[in-house]
Amino acid sequence: MNCEESLAGQVAVVTGASRGVGLAIARRLGQMGARVSLCARNAANLESAASGLREDGIQVLAQRTDVTRADEVASFVSETQRTFGPVDILVNNAGIGIFGPFQKQTEAEWNAVLDTNLKSVFLVSRAVAPEMIRRKAGHIINIVSLAGKSTFASGAIYCASKWGLLGLSGCMAEELRPHGIRVSAICPGSVATDFSPHAGKDPSRMLQPEDVAHAVAALVTQAPGSFISEVQIRPTQKP
């Protein structure tokens, strides 16, 4: 079996997969043979992404889902299992960024960032974990950020969500490893997407969505006797 068939028969779920990093990850896993289940909040963008993947010969399920809502998460995971079967790979990629001086930010902005970047990982992982535990196998990969390991002005809410996500990832890894489930965190630096403004930075010197997808591919093709708990990704030259 070559690398492009290494995930044949497996089912991968990618959240926030309608564009950018999430779409690149979905495409890479699909090219490796996985059947890919996508969700995002924007239905039009999601359907456009799914159509493009299908044109590449990838088996795709796409369902508009707000991953901050437990009922919608349950519906999405249930439909994935009904259509494709048990989930082998979960990539928690959905995330937003709201930036500015913390004293000027609102409670609604705090809730939006923490719910999307942190609570959603808890909800989706909780939905797939029981079946992974029963099968004693699975990968859960959380897309964090180098902001989960550093601080910067105007990043209070975003950094809080990503520091929390690193803590959640570590605890999940310890709880699930006895069941044969590997939990990993990927911490990229700035990626050239429209996720957040990159004023003054040269996009060609920034990380690309495909760089993060490459890291995901490496994690899900590890030998069964070990797992990489954390990956940090930086561009070779500072943007």
Any domain includes 239: no
pLDDT band at 73 (very low <50, low <70, confident <90, very high): very high
Residue 109, classed as helix, strand or coil, is helix
Partnered with residue 140 across adjacent β-strands are 90, 183
- The range of the structural domain enclosing residue 108 comes to 3-233
Any domain includes 61: yes
Structural domain count, the chain? 1
Any domain includes 66: yes
Pairing of strands 138-143, 60-64: unpaired
Q: What is the DSSP string of 49-100?
A: HHHHHHHTT--EEEEE--TT-HHHHHHHHHHHHHHT-S-SEEEE-------S
Whether the predicted pLDDT of 198 surpasses 70: no
Question: Tokens 């590890």 appear where?
Answer: 222
Question: Tokens 């996009």 appear where?
Answer: 203
Whether the predicted pLDDT of 197 surpasses 80: no
pLDDT band at 1 (very low <50, low <70, confident <90, very high): very low
Cα separation, 19 vs 124, in Å, equals: 19
Residue type present at position 121: V
CA torsion through residues 97, 98, 102, 105, sign: negative
pLDDT, residue 199, reads 63
Any domain includes 131: yes
Domain CATH for 169: 3.40.50.720
Are 172 and 151 a contacting pair, CB within 8 Å?
no
pLDDT band at 237 (very low <50, low <70, confident <90, very high): confident
Cα separation, 65 vs 22, in Å, equals: 14
Cα separation, 162 vs 149, in Å, equals: 8
Any domain includes 238: no
Average pLDDT of the chain to the nearest whole number: 95
Q: What is the mean pLDDT of residues 35-61?
A: 98
- Known catalytic residues? 158
Residue 171, classed as helix, strand or coil, is helix
pLDDT digits (tens, 9 = 90+) for 144-193: 999 999 999 999 999 999 999 999 999 999 999 999 999 999 999 999 98
pLDDT, residue 2, reads 42
Q: Which of 35, 66, 63 is nearest to 49 (CA)?
A: 63
Cα separation, 3 vs 180, in Å, equals: 22
pLDDT band at 96 (very low <50, low <70, confident <90, very high): very high
* Alpha-carbon separation of residue 63 from 14, 22, 103, 132, 149 (angstroms): 11, 14, 37, 21, 32
- Please report which residue ranges of the chain form alpha helices under DSSP H: 20-31, 43-55, 70-83, 107-114, 120-135, 156-176, 209-220
Whether the predicted pLDDT of 139 surpasses 80: yes
Q: pTM of the prediction?
A: 0.95
pLDDT band at 206 (very low <50, low <70, confident <90, very high): very high
Residue 5, classed as helix, strand or coil, is helix
Q: What is the mean pLDDT of residues 204-217?
A: 95
pLDDT, residue 13, reads 99
pLDDT band at 25 (very low <50, low <70, confident <90, very high): very high
Whether the predicted pLDDT of 132 surpasses 90: yes
